[in-house]
């Protein structure tokens, strides 16, 4: 993980579909040029009584799925913290919370990546100024990505069946 300083500012993303609070089952597929993320969206049935447990798995049919494509990624990480250890994230005291998506303005991680790249003979610091540090906080994991842009679409079905769509998003499908 990275260390933060006083410049990092957490901003919640309003255009990102809410992940399932209980079981988003996020999946990441990546290469050097793109990263695709899929997760179950919050989709509480109107007749749910709030007392029973709704179990979902990778093959649960009929679920709403968010598919996020991160363009021009520089770095990404997927793992801890989960919702129970979220207070241990270096940005937790700045408004970062579980079950939501955020952009980190003046990101320490981006500034660190820029400094690391500064030894390159053709280093251009302005290239890093256009990047975004995004965080998707799920129930059991957190996904972070430094990228140029992202786009979101939604689908319906088991998350396991989203893999071909993710492959297409990465441009790996044969013409």
Q: CB of 73 within 8 A of CB of 110?
A: no
Tokens of 93: 């005291």
Query: Model's pTM, two decimal places?
Result: 0.93
Q: Provide mean pLDDT across the span 130-157.
A: 97
> Of all residues in the chain, what percent carry a pLDDT higher than 70?
95
Confidence of residue 46 (pLDDT cuts 50, 70, 90): confident
Confidence of residue 100 (pLDDT cuts 50, 70, 90): very high
């Amino acid at each position: 993980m990275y260390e933060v300083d006083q410049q990092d500012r957490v901003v919640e993303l309003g255009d990102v579909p809410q992940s399932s609070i209980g079981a988003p089952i996020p999946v990441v597929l990546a290469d050097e040029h793109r990263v695709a993320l899929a997760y179950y969206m919050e989709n509480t049935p109107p007749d749910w009584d709030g007392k029973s447990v709704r179990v979902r798995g990778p093959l649960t049919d009929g679920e709403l799925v968010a598919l996020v494509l991160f363009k021009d990624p520089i770095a990404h990480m997927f793992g801890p913290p989960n919702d129970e250890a979220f207070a241990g994230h270096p940005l937790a005291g700045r408004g970062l919370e579980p079950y939501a998506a955020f952009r980190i303005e003046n990101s320490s991680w981006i500034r660190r990546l820029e400094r690391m790249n500064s030894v390159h003979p053709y280093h251009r610091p302005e290239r890093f100024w256009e990047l975004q540090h995004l965080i998707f906080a799920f129930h059991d994991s957190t996904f972070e990505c430094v990228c140029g842009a992202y786009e979101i679409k939604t689908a319906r079905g088991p998350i396991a069946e989203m893999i071909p769509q993710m492959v297409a998003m990465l441009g790996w499908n044969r013409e």
